[in-house]
Each structure stands twice: as structure tokens, then as C-alpha cells.
Amino acid sequence: MTAPQAKEQIQDQTSYWLRPTILNIALKIFMEQILERYMRHSYVEKVFPIKEPESQEDLCHEYEELKRKVDALQRSRRK
């Protein structure tokens, strides 16, 4: 095989792998969707940061508040 033939064969193989196939297009769309979802969720986390309770006392207070709300909802549901 001569050098020009080898060069042509390499170009043919390269162009084959660079052709847009259905799989490549689907993968690109899928990756774009993943990135969009990631950006959307990371934005939400920045806007609404998750508040961590500072101490056990805060946890107990939060528990009592939630328990009162649940009890009130259950009572109103029974009526």
C-alpha cells in the first residue's frame, strides 16, 4: 500500500466515525437533557438552600411543630 492510499484509507475511516448516526444524535440529546436537568436542580438548591437544624433542641422543636400540624390535619379529615 502506498502512502497516498494509506492516507485515503485513514480519511475514509475517520469520516465514517465522524458521521452523525442516530445513536450519536440520541446521545447528544440525552446529554443535553441531563445537563439541563442538572442546571435546573442546582439553581433550585442555590435559591432555596436546605436549612439544617443547628442542635438537638431545634430538632425537637421542629418535630413538635410537625406533629401538631399532622394531628390538626387528621382531626380536620375526620370531621
What was the pLDDT predicted at 69? Answer: 92
- Cα separation, 53 vs 68, whole angstroms: 19
End-to-end CA distance of the chain: 90
Inform me whether the pLDDT recorded for 9 exceeds 70.
Answer: no
What was the pLDDT predicted at 57? Answer: 78
**Mind listing the pLDDT tens digit for each residue in 34-74?**
888 888 877 766 766 666 657 777 888 888 999 999 999 88
